[in-house]
């Protein structure tokens, strides 16, 4: 998955192996990891669990992004 915070130009840069990430891209990666990704993972897990019907539904208290116990 490509960081959804990237601009269209940054997305193209990801696929151009001759170019490294920019400092703006690194900042967006950190923002994604620290603030956006946990909620995205919870929402994706809930959607998959609801669709499959046999997986435990994650709770908002489950910070690990893993299975609730």
| pLDDT at residue 60, rounded to an integer | 62
Spell out the per-residue pLDDT of the chain, length 69, in tens. Answer: 899 999 999 999 999 989 999 999 999 999 999 999 999 999 998 888 888 876 566 666 655 555 443
N- to C-terminal Cα distance for the chain? 28
What residue segments make up the domains of the chain, in order of their start? Answer: 22-69
d(CA 18, CA 11): 14
**pLDDT for the residue numbered 50:** 85
Q: What is the pLDDT of residue 67?
A: 45
This prediction has a pTM of: 0.65
Tokens 């603030």 label which residue? 35
Taking the CA atoms of the chain, what radius of gyration do you get in angstroms? 16
């Amino acid at each position: 998955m490509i960081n959804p915070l990237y601009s269209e130009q940054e997305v193209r840069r990801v696929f151009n192996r001759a170019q490294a990430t920019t400092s703006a891209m690194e900042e967006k990666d950190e923002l994604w990891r620290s603030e956006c990704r946990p909620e995205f993972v919870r929402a994706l897990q809930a959607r998959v669990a609801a669709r499959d019907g046999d997986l435990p539904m994650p709770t908002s208290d489950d910070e690990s992004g893993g299975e609730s116990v």
